[in-house]
Structures are given as structure tokens and as C-alpha cells.
Amino acid sequence: MTSPDRPVALITGAAQRVGAVIARTLHAAGYDVALHYRRSENAARELVFDLERERSGSTLLLQADLSELAMLPDLVDQVLTQYGRLDALVNNASAFYPTPLGETTPAQWNELFASNAQGPFFLSQAAIPALRKSHGGIVNLLDIYAERPLAGHTLYCMAKAALAAMTRSLALELGPDVRVNGVAPGAVMWPSDGKTYDDRKALVSRTPLQRAGTPEDVAGAVLWLLRDAPFVSGQVIRVDGGRTLSV
């Protein structure tokens, strides 16, 4: 059964990878979770099955393409219909792929900005009334490449930089009722067509903690910002093992 006393978090891109670990981490911390996915229905349903075995009535599954902006208020409405509250929004969903200069297309611009900046903004806007009521929080999943661009990925870096600016601006606009922060991972999960082993080894060697991060590292930072950092807003926490300290 749902409980009016449990906090509720809406997590985008929650079916797989880091998003799924964030969902599991918040759920284990006592949150009911609304799990958004776009295409990964089987993985999303498997996650719901696991979480419902732990606590019945604790999940809500939401399907949407975040580029379809008219759908975004309905996601928030479904959460409020189910739970009567919304305490946290985690903008995790993200498209990521290279866009070499000279070959970049308007369609790639639209897709990368839709998932990494436009969708998070309009979903946050739709969630503001509920988050003000609960004195809740927003956490945006950024990337260290928003500050230190990755070669061949100009559009992705631009979109994440826009999301970083949005994080700071919304923190200013929504205080004192709503806190807004970001988490910027370093090397955590390699893309499916990702770096060779030698490239990965070289990257880790430049990281002071001498290891790649884990999804649990990222999820722990998200939970801390939502639950344990009541005087933190407008900040971007780098979860990168100190990698951005090296040149």
C-alpha cells in the first residue's frame, strides 16, 4: 500500500544503468519511486518487480519520450494521482554519442538537447508546484564534460553545460522552498561502444583515486543531496575520483 508519510521521487531514465541504481538506492532509503523509461520496457518492468517484492505499492511505471514536451506535465500528474505528493525529481535520462564537426546534423542537435536540457527544464517546471509544497529537491545528472569538453562531442557538452546553468538558475529561482543541485560523474559506466581497454586504463591512471567510479558512487551522492544536505543548493558535486584536478 502507498503511504502518505513516505517521500516520493520521480527518476527519469530509471530502467537501466545509473538510473536503475539511483532508483534502487532511493527505494532502499524509504522513498516510493516513479520510474520513467522511454524504450526499455522489459528492464523497467524487471526493476518494478524487484522493488515491489521489497515493498508493495512503492513503484509507479511511466513511459514517455521526453522530447514530447506536452507529455511532461502528465508525468507529474500521474505521480500526484498515485501518491498525492512529490518530494524529489532526478533528471537522469540522457542521450550520449559523438557529433564530429562537419558531420553534425540538426536532428542530432534536437535529440541531444531534448534529453539533456530541454526535457529536464520543462519537467522541472511542471514539478515546481508539487516540490514547493513538499519543500523538495531536484538533482540533475550532469557530466564533468560540461566544464572540460570531450573531443568529438560538442553538442553533448553544450547540452550538459546548459543543464549546469539551469541547475544554478533554478536554485536561485526556487529558494527557499526547493533545493536544486547537480551530480557530475567522471568515468562511471563506459558507453556500449566505449573506449578500448588501453584508453580506459590511461584515463583511470590520471584519476587521483586510481579507479573508475561505480553507479553506486553516483547514487549515493544523489541520495545525500536529496536527504542529508538541507543547506546545499545550486551546487554541482563532481563524483569523479578527483579526475578534474589533473590536466
Catalytic positions are: 156
Q: What's the Cα-to-Cα distance from 162 to each of 13, 121, 224, rounded to whole Å?
A: 19, 10, 23
Helices and strands (H, E) in the chain, number of each type:
8, 7
| Spatial distance between the Cα atoms of 2 and 87, rounded to a whole number of angstroms | 15
Per the CB < 8 A criterion, the answer to whether 1 and 56 are in contact is yes
Peptide bond into 176 cis (omega under 30): yes
For residue 83 the three cell numbers come to 501518491
- Torsion angle, CA of 196/201/203/205, rounded to 10 degrees? -170
| Spatial distance between the Cα atoms of 50 and 205, rounded to a whole number of angstroms | 36
Q: What's the Cα-to-Cα distance from 136 to each of 70, 98, 124, 227, 239, rounded to whole Å?
A: 23, 35, 12, 9, 22
| Spatial distance between the Cα atoms of 233 and 94, rounded to a whole number of angstroms | 22
Sign of the CA dihedral with 22 first, then 62, 60, and 86 last: positive
In degrees and rounded to multiples of 5, residue 212 shows phi and psi of -80, 155
For residue 33 the three cell numbers come to 519511486
| Spatial distance between the Cα atoms of 161 and 140, rounded to a whole number of angstroms | 12
